[in-house]
Each structure stands twice: as C-alpha cells, then as structure tokens.
Structure 1
Amino acid sequence: MIEIHNIHKSFNGKKVLDGVSGVFETGKTNLLLGASGTGKSVLLKCIVGLVKPDLGSVTFDGTYFTNNKLDIRQEIRRKIGMLFQGSALFDSMTVEENIEFPLKMLADMPRDERKDRVNFCLKRVGLENANKKMPSELSGGMKKRVGIARAIAPNCTYLFCDEPNSGLDPLTAIKIDELIAEITEEYGITTIIVTHDMNSVIEIGDKIMFLYQGKKLWEGTNDEIMDTDVPKLNEFIFANRLMRDAKKVDDDEENERLLQG
C-alpha cells in the first residue's frame, strides 16, 4: 500500500499539485485519471522520488519515503518497477539484455539465475523465444510487453505505469490492460497507472483518482464512475459520443428495472 499526504508542487511559481492525498491499495490497479496537464505524471514522479514535493509526504507500506535517509529510499526504490510511456527500451540491447539490465543493477544474482528470471518474465508476458530480438524488430504491443517484463524482473512490490496504452490500437491496448491487471493480482503488487483512457477505466479501474487542475476532485471505482455528481468528471467521461450512449443505455435499463419493480 502507498499513501500520499497533502502533496504540493509548483514549477516557476505555477502550482501543479495542490494538496493531493490518497491511498493506493495492494493487489489492485489504481488509476490516476485526468486530462493532459492536470498533474498526473508529476504526482507519479513525486511518489517514486524523481521529483521532490514542495510540501507533503509519501509512505510505502508504512515506511516514510519523502526526505528519509538515503539508504531507506534506495531500499524502497529497489522494489519499484516502472513501465514508461514509450517503453524506453535500450535500442542497442536485445530483448533479453533489456530485461536483464535491472537484475544486473539491482540484484546480486548469478548469471544463470538471471537468465532463468528473464525467461520466466518473457513467458509471463507471452513472448517466449523473443530473447534475441532487437527493439526495432518489435511491434508497439510487443515493446510494451517487454517493458512490463523488465519492470517485474526484479520481483517488484510496486509497479508504476505511465500511459501504458499510448500509441497502441484498441485491441492491443485492452490486452496490455488485462496483462497489467493479471500481474497486479497474481503477485500482490501495488500498481499505479497514469491514464486518460476511459477504456482502461472501464476495463481495469479497481480504484480511480480523478485530478483536475492539480486537485483531487473524485475517488472511487469503475462501477461508481458512471454515476457521479462531479461536473468536471462528467465532462471528462462523457466527452465522446460512445460514453454518452453507454450512459443513456444504463439509465434506460435502470428506469425499466424501477418500473418493473
């Protein structure tokens, strides 16, 4: 479990995060939702320690992270896996070498064990025998899968995903969402996903935090998000026709149920 308390952050006098607090639960996909420029990625960077908050704190499973001793922060960072928006694979390394990289950096593991771990992670994301391929030989979806394999290779406790569906076709995006959700539940990981994709919200939104202009306006589940009284959230959700039509169908079904009951 990750807890954030009253996070504030400004850049050049412009407030980006304004007192954001919340809890991200273990074994669930926790989504940071909002339009571009609402502070989602900055909040993610504050949580992992890439950006220092001006005010507020972060705890990982009860251990204070912000401004704690360097060795404690480093120990927590060793438990963090990161899936970057563009996958961020090393172009000059094979798939196997990309996944093995954090094991060399973070784990005291013999070479044979590293190879076994790489093969296990590749199998888990459905890319058996892709070890010797180069990133240039992979599709966008395959790159995301390699990115996930690299993130979980060191047996991460916390998984952070920045726009994991960016640049993917809808079917591949759903498969990546499902894979992240499966791994989260299977290994009991605390997963935080930055997204503006409503498909991800509907498919895997165990817990959702909606940010608007640096503030948390709403928090709940994908079962609750279609029926809120938060105007800015509703504007975001029902910005496209498909979501408006889905809402109308739900309302019609509910009215019919009430009439029959």
Structure 2
Amino acid sequence: MIEIHNIQKSFNGKKVLDGIDGVFESGKMNMLLGASGTGKSVLLKCIVGLVKPDVGSITYDGRIFTNNKLDIKQEIRRKIGMLFQGSALFDSMNVNENIDFPLKMLTDMTRAERRERVEFCLKRVGLEQAGKLMPSELSGGMKKRVGIARAIAPHCTYLFCDEPNSGLDPLTAIKIDELIKEITEEYDITTIVVTHDMNSVLEYGDNVMFLYQGKKLWEGHSSEIMDTKVRELNDFIFSNRLMRDAKKVEQIEEEEQREEDQRQEEEKNRNK
C-alpha cells in the first residue's frame, strides 16, 4: 500500500499539484485519471522519487519515502517496477537482455538464476519464444508485454504504468489491461496506472482518482463514476458521443426499472 498526503509541486511559480491526498491499495488497479496537463505524470514521478514534492509525504507500506535516508529510499526503489509509455526498451539489447538488465543491476542473483527468472517472466506475459528478438522486431503490443516482464522481473512490490495503452489498437489495449490486472492480483502488487482511457477505467478501475488542474476532484470505484455530480469529471467522461449515448441508455433503463417497480407495487396493493 502507498499513501500520499498533501502533495504539492510547483514549477517556475506555477502550481502543478495542489494538496493531493490518497491511498493506493495492494492487489488493486489504482488509476490516475485526467486530461493532459492535469498533473497525473508529475504526481507519478513524485511518488516514485523522480521529482521531489515541495510539500507533503509519501509512505510505502508504512515506511516514509520522502526525506528519508538514502539507503532506505534505495531499498524501496528496488521493489518498484515501471512500465513506461513508450516501453523504453534498449534498442541494442534483445528481449532476454532487456529483462535481465534490472536483475543484474538490482539483485544478487547468479547468471543461472537470472536466466531462469527471465524465462519465467517471458512465459508469464505469453512471449516465451521471443527472447532472442530485438525490439525493432516486436509489435507495439509485444513491446508492452516485454516492458511488463522487465518491470516484474526483480519481484516488484509496486508497479507504475504510464499510459500503458498509448499507441495500441483497441483489442491489444484490452489484452494489456487484462495482463496488468492479472499480475496485480496474482502477486498482490500495488499498481498505479496513469491513463485517460475511459475504457480501461470502466473495466478495470478498482480505485480511480480524477485530477483537474492539479487538484483531486473525485475518487472512487469505477462503478460509481458514471453517476458523479462533479461537473469537470462529467465533462471529461462524456466528451465523446459514444459515452453520451451510453449515459442516455443507462438513464432510460433506470427509468424503465422505476416504472416497473412502481407498477408491481401498485398491483401488490390492489391484491391486498
């Protein structure tokens, strides 16, 4: 579990994050939702330690991360896996070498142990035959899978995903979402996903935090998000015709259900 309290960050006098609080639970898909420029990626960078917040605290399973000793911060960082927006694979390394890289850097595994771990991670993401391929030989979806394998290779406890569906076709995007969800639950990982993809949010968002102009305006389960009264969130959700049509259908179904309930109640009273 990761907890953040009163996170504030400014750049050149402009406030990008304005007092963000939140709890990200293990074994769940925690999603940071919002339009471009709302502070999602900056908040993610603050949580992983790439950017230092001006104010606020961050704790990993009760251990303070902000302003702690370097050795404590390094110990926590060894448990962090990162799936970058563009996968960020090393072009000069094949798939096996890409996944092996964090194992060499962050663990004391022997070469045989690392090889076994690489094979396991590749099999877990469904790419057991791709170890010798170069990144240039991979499709966009395969690159994402290799990125996930590399992120979980050092037995990560915390997984951060920055726009994991960026640049993917809808079917591949769903498969990547499903894979991240499965791994999160299987290994009880605290997963935080930065996204603006409403399909991902509605299908997999166990806990969704909506950011707008550096503030947290709403937080809750994806099942509640369609009924929010937050104007800015509604504007974001129903910005396209498909989502507006879905909302109309939901409202019609609810009205029909109310009418049916009322009819049954009236009939019950007549029969008394």
TM-score by length of 1: 0.99
1:239 aligns with 239
Q: What number of residue pairs does the alignment pair up?
A: 261
Offset at 1:249? Answer: 1.1
- In structure 1, the partner of 2:265 is none
2:267 corresponds in structure 1 to: none
Give secondary structure in 1 for the equivalent of 2:223.
coil
Structure 1 residues 22-101: aligned runs within 5 Å: 22-101=22-101
Amino acid at match of 1:250: E
Name the residue aligned to 2:176.
Answer: 176
Shift of residue 67 of structure 1?
A: 0.5
Q: Counterpart of 2:269?
A: none
| Runs of 4+ with deviation above 4 angstroms | none
In structure 1, distance between residues paired with 2:244 and 2:222: 16
Q: How far, CA to CA, are the matches of 1:257 and 1:223 in structure 2?
A: 18
Q: CA deviation at 1:89?
A: 0.1
CA distance, structure 2, for counterparts of residue 71 and residue 87 of structure 1:
28
Provide the C-alpha distance between the structure 2 equivalents of 1:51 and 1:199, rounded to a whole number of angstroms: 29
1:153 matches 2:153:
yes
Residue in structure 1 matched with residue 127 of structure 2 by the alignment: 127
* 1:15 equivalent in structure 2: 15
Name the aligned partner's letter for residue 46 of structure 2.
C
Which whole-Å CA distance do the structure 2 matches of 1:255 and 1:60 have between them?
Answer: 45
SS at match of 2:67: coil
Cα offsets for 1:61-105 (capped at 9, x unmatched): 000000000000000000000000000000000000000000000
2:160 aligned partner, one-letter code = F
How far apart, in 1, do the equivalents of 2:202 and 2:137 lie? 32
For the pair shown, the structure with the greater C-alpha radius of gyration is: 2
Tell me the secondary structure at the aligned position of residue 129 of structure 2: coil
Question: 1:239-261 CA distances to partner (integer Å, 9 max, x unpaired)?
Answer: 00111111111111111111111
User: AA paired with 2:218?
Assistant: W
Aligned with 2:200: secondary structure? helix
SS at 2:224 equivalent: coil
Hey, what's the Cα distance between the residues in 1 that align with 2:10 and 2:26? 29
| Residue 209 of structure 2 is aligned to residue 213 of structure 1 | no
The separation in 2 between residues aligned to 1:213 and 1:144, in whole angstroms, is 29
Q: Secondary structure at the match of 1:165?
A: coil
Unaligned runs of 5+ in 2: 262-272
Q: Which residue of 2 aligns with 1:255?
A: 255
Partner secondary structure for residue 224 of structure 1: helix
CA distance in 2, matches of 1:252, 1:116: 55
Aligned to 1:186: 186
CA distance in 2, matches of 1:205, 1:61: 21
Q: Give structure 1 stretches of 5+ with no counterpart.
A: none
User: Alpha-carbon deviation of 1:33?
Assistant: 0.2
- TM-superposed deviation, 1:8: 0.3
Which whole-Å deviations, capped at 9, do the CAs of 1:100-159 have from their partners, x for residues lacking one?
000000010011110110011001001011110000000000000000000000000000
Query: SS where residue 15 of structure 1 aligns?
Result: strand
1:9-46 CA-partner distances (Å, limit 9, x unpaired): 00000100000000001100000000000000000000
Query: 2-side partners of 1:140 and 1:248: how far apart?
Result: 35
What is the aligned-residue identity percentage?
A: 81
Cα separation, 2, equivalents of 1:88 and 1:200: 22
Q: What is the SS of the residue equivalent to 1:89?
A: coil
Letter paired with 1:2? I
Amino acid at match of 1:26: S
What is the CA–CA distance in structure 1 between the aligned matches of 2:107 and 2:223, rounded to whole Å?
A: 40
Per mean C-alpha deviation after superposition, the further-off stretch among 251-260 and 75-84 is: 251-260
